[in-house]
Chain A
Amino acid sequence: MSILTAAQKKTAKRMPAPALFLSAGFLALLLLAAFLPGLFTAADPLRTDIGQSLLAPDSRHPFGTDQAGRDVFARVIHGARYSLAIGFGATVIAVVAGLLIGSLAGLMRRVGDGVLSRAIEIVMAFPEFLLALIVIAIIGPGEASLLVAVAIAVVPAYARVARMQTLVVKRAGYVEAARTLGVSPTVTVLRHVVPNALAPLLVMATMGIGTAITAAAGLSFLGLGPKPPTPEWGLILSGGRNFLATAWWIAVFPGLVITATVVSTSILGRHLQASTAGPQR
């Protein structure tokens, strides 16, 4: 996201309304699927049935079935919970950590700020996926490490924005006023600086959820996340890899859902960006 967001910032045009409705609707359905998968499918994502294996998509199995006869649609629907949880979880951790690091850097004096912002800059030169991979390399594979790795990978971008916001807010009149009135620095930071720095971070986070979901799916596709029978999107895809010649649907549909999710979060994020930034130019 790092440089990418900076590049997109310039292109923050308002999104056409139909695209906006479509993506908001898709995300709403996805959320519903994460909480109430039973609404969409009655099939059990883990129940195997060899007699029904590798069936092409039809009305009974909209996304077909996999090598063990599991319904791919049901697996994708149930997988929404894992993928969204990792995407949201990592993003929330990253926003909180980024806010802390960024506002700390923004409030510190020269040396502290210099060291922190240099560190942020260096880490931001790496794309998220590579960073997440390095973090996994260090802390080892697993479901929890996946969450941590994705979160760490996206923190620097949030920290940078939080720092810039803090620098702006720090000089604002109301902070001066608060200080003159004798409000303690801690209270000033919590009451004024943090809430003001939060708004642009939340806009970023909307787009960031998409990035986090892709990164997480990529890592679990490599086998560095949850273990096989789990209906996680990346894992379903990697399971489908061996059956591409006979059953393309196992791999194609979950990927389509991931792409649609990321496209939707980007569209929504850009819309928020455009509307918070006000009319541009």
Chain B
Amino acid sequence: MLLVVWGAATVGFFSLRMIQGDPVNVMVGLGNVSEQVRDQIRADWGLADPLIVQYVSYLARLLRGDLGTSYRMQQPVADVIGQQLVPTVQLMLLALACALLLALASALLGRGRRRAPVAGLLELVAVSSPTFWIGLVLIAAFGFGLGWFPVVATAGFGALVLPAVTLAIPVAGILSQVLRQGLDDAAALPFVDTVRARGASHTRLVLRHTLRHAAANSVTLTGYIVGSLLGGSVLVETVFARPGLGRVALNAIVDRDMPVVLGIIVLAAAAFSLVNLLVDLLADRIDPRLATERAYA
């Protein structure tokens, strides 16, 4: 996990330094500044040192949790990110809940000869629609058309519903595909007959037994889902003009604010590997097969 974070920091640091122009230009903007002032800025920010020295000191500060200082906003990157973390995490959590709910509903209802093709089509459309388009359609329909949800409000639960649903739809599509497949696979396994022979009802069979098998398969998707939510939040926050990490990232990219960009890359890598680690730990617990293997071992 640390390896991934270190790799992301290193690749990000060097490629940003190689490719981008003079960071001083970013700081002074279009203003006309004498060479003397530029040199002063370089000295102040440690930009005059050899690249390798800058790299080592960046890593050293990173270890202490210091992500550096934004060129544009002149405040610590950790603060810039910290301030915007809450709305994005709120959005992602609610979206995740929506996605799980939608996927479960579609996977449990969308089985059988008649319904499976319908569910398949819905999944395909959900996965294929661009996130930002879903958002715009929802705003047009439920925001302006029916007036159910506020369109521009940034506070309150109502304002969170449409963005979360937008973010949830593609994720729900993927999840439902995998869940349905998992349920179908599990239904063909021999233990189903055993459970049935014990006199368990169909509902109990699905909820207690086959769903657990199917869920174990989908847990491996968690990393992918977190990533989709993270990437999607950039789009969704732009569509709904919400504050958040996605907006910070986008502005930093457009403004060429390197420390912020690098900070977000490092944060994303850390969040990602943490989630994958947790998933690996969780997977053994949920999947009945792995649990039995351990019991026999």
Contacts and interface: CB of A to CB of B under 8 A. Distances in A.
A262 B137 contact: no
A262 B133 CA distance: 13
Given A4-B224, A125-B223, A126-B272, A141 B253 contact: yes
23 contacts: A3-B224, A7-B174, A7-B181, A11-B181, A127-B224, A133-B234, A133-B253, A134-B265, A137-B261, A137-B264, A140-B256, A210-B128, A218-B130, A218-B235, A223-B254, A238-B132, A245-B151, A248-B144, A251-B140, A255-B136, A255-B137, A259-B125, A263-B124
A128 B239 CA distance: 20
Interface of A: 2-4, 7-8, 10-11, 16, 122, 125-127, 129-130, 133-134, 136-141, 210, 214, 217-218, 221-224, 234, 237-238, 240-241, 244-245, 248, 251-252, 254-256, 258-259, 262-263, 266-267
Contact of A255 (B133, B143, B151, B177): B133
Contacts of B129: 255, 258-259, 262
Contacts of B145: 248
B253 A224 contact: yes
A3 B272 contact: no
A132 to B, nearest CB: 8
Contact of B133 (A10, A16, A258, A266): A258
Given A259-B130, A262-B128, A141 B224 contact: no
Contacts of B151: 244-245
Given A11-B181, A244-B143, 20 more contacts: A4-B174, A129-B228, A129-B231, A129-B235, A134-B268, A138-B12, A138-B16, A140-B19, A141-B254, A218-B131, A218-B132, A221-B130, A237-B130, A244-B139, A251-B136, A255-B129, A255-B133, A258-B130, A262-B129, A263-B124
A222 B231 contact: no
Interface of B: 4, 7, 12, 15-16, 19-20, 117, 124-125, 127-133, 136-137, 139-140, 143-145, 151, 174, 177-178, 181, 185, 220-221, 223-224, 227-228, 230-232, 234-235, 238-239, 249-250, 252-254, 256, 261, 264-265, 268, 272, 276
Nearest to A267: B124
Nearest to B178: A7
B130 A255 contact: yes
Given A4-B127, A259-B125, A125 B253 contact: no
A127 B132 contact: no
A244 B136 contact: yes
B131 A138 contact: no
Chain A, interface SS category: helix
Given A133-B234, A222-B238, A237 B177 contact: no
B268 A137 contact: no
A237 B234 CA distance: 16
Nearest to B227: A127
B214 to A, nearest CB: 12
Contacts of A217: 130
A223 B255 CA distance: 12
Contacts of B250: 222
A125 B268 CA distance: 12
Contacts of B252: 137
Nearest to A214: B130
Contacts of B239: 241
A4 B240 CA distance: 27
A4 B185 CA distance: 17
A255 B131 CA distance: 10
Contacts of A244: 136, 139-140, 143-144, 151
A252 B140 contact: yes
Contacts of A141: 253-254
B274 to A, nearest CB: 12
A237 B272 CA distance: 30
B19 A139 contact: yes
Contacts of B264: 137
B235 A222 contact: yes
A154 to B, nearest CB: 14
A50 B234 CA distance: 33
Nearest to A254: B133
A256 B7 CA distance: 39
A259 B133 contact: yes
A122 B3 CA distance: 10
B177 A11 contact: yes
A130 B128 contact: no
Contacts of B261: 137-138
B136 A252 contact: yes
A12 B224 CA distance: 21
A140 B220 contact: no
A122 B247 CA distance: 25
A71 B59 CA distance: 53
B182 to A, nearest CB: 9
Contact of B221 (A7, A133, A137, A218): A7
A259 B230 CA distance: 21
A17 B230 CA distance: 37
A129 B253 contact: no
B268 A130 contact: yes
Contacts of B228: 127, 129-130
Contacts of A10: 181, 185
